[in-house]
Amino acid sequence: MKKSDLSKAELHQQAEAKLIERKKKTGPLPETEKDTRRLVHELQVNQIELEIQNEELVQARAEAEESYRQYTDLYDFAPVGYFTLAQDGTISRVNLAGATLLGVEHGKLVKRRLGLFVSCESRPAFSDFLESLLSGEGKKICEVTLLKNRDEPFWARLEATCFEGGDECHAVMVDITERVQAEEELLVTQEALEAANLKLQIALTREKQLAHTDVLTGIHNRRYLFELAGHEFEIATRYQQPLSVIMFDLDHFKEVNDSFGHAAGDQILQLVTQAASKELRSADVIGRYGGEEFVIVLPMTNAQQALPLAERIRLGVAAIRVPTEKGDASVTLSLGIVELIHGAQSAQTRSAEDLIRRADEAMYAAKQAGRNRTEIGE
């Protein structure tokens, strides 16, 4: 039990015990009247009680001074800045860490406004922070750019509390510059990675497109043409739907290259594919079969429905003229059409390749019949 916890009875008991010890050392008092002896005894006890109480006060003062010293050490040498702010943001108290963060001597900070050390871009946020604090809504947090010695910027996190009805706010300040810089570097790295990933995706898309596309004409190449044709053949076969194929070839194309040059021939190939493509639906498939031969796959279309389309393409190509130094280059088309036959008659067409082979035979029949015409095959 501490001395400060002694009750009045215990204090009196201790004083009595000490008085007995003193009397043993000094000897008994001379015989006097009974009342006088009792009065002397009480005075002696009171004196000892005062001595005990004085000892308690001395010890309590020493403990208080030690506690204050420890508190001062904790406050001043804490790793974060502590501030006490008036309602207008004036600093009424600050520890050494806070003064170091702001780059100003401890004594010169008191009675100065903390807002003077806030950068211009952070002042609106800081004003809102102070205003919300004074509303007495509990702890508030903000991150602002401060100016050390009003010159060197650094990022700081402020956490403050202003109790309802209080005249002061208690704030903690932490330097978060390294964290903010790390976040900014991470953001830059992330943006760079996203840009690189987008570039890679574009490159992959382009590579995929190139893998499916004929470089000269921009339509599907032979490999991808067969892949798409096979897909449409499976659907038409499964659901017993109409499906037609047109194959066309440029008549006497070798003579065009020999007479007007390969540059004119390439231009004609491009114009032919453009003329054909503009006549097609979005569901139709066109691809370069090889050289000057092309294939069109027409879902949900029979041969009779495909014939007007083939004729529009033939007439459109016949009107093409490519000016050259040796005159205008032009071509005509020979086209063959076949449709997928379902049921017992479909034995000769077991795949998309079979359907294209039959279209090739119909196209050959058109050439045999004089070229620049369309034939429907069996």
Q: How far apart are CA 218 and CA 304, in angstroms?
A: 28
**Please, what's the largest Cα pairwise distance for the chain?**
164
**Helix, strand, coil % over all residues of the chain, rounded to 5:** 55, 20, 25
Instruction: Say if residues 313 and 248 touch (Cβ distance below 8 Å).
Output: yes
Q: Which of 49, 232, 292, 339 is catalytic?
A: 292
* Residue of 168, 171, 177 whose CA lies nearest to 146: 177
Query: Does residue 321 sit in helix, strand or coil?
Result: coil
- The count of other CB atoms within 10 Å of the CB of residue 294 is 27
Residue 277 CA to residue 283 CA, distance in Å, equals 12
Annotated catalytic, 10?
A: no
- The phi-psi region of residue 238 (left if phi > 0; otherwise alpha if psi is between -120 and 50; otherwise beta) is alpha
CA geometry: angle at 288 spanning 323 and 236, to 5°? 135
Residue whose structure tokens are 């979005």: 282
Question: Hey, is 214 helix, strand or coil?
Answer: coil
Give the active site residues.
292
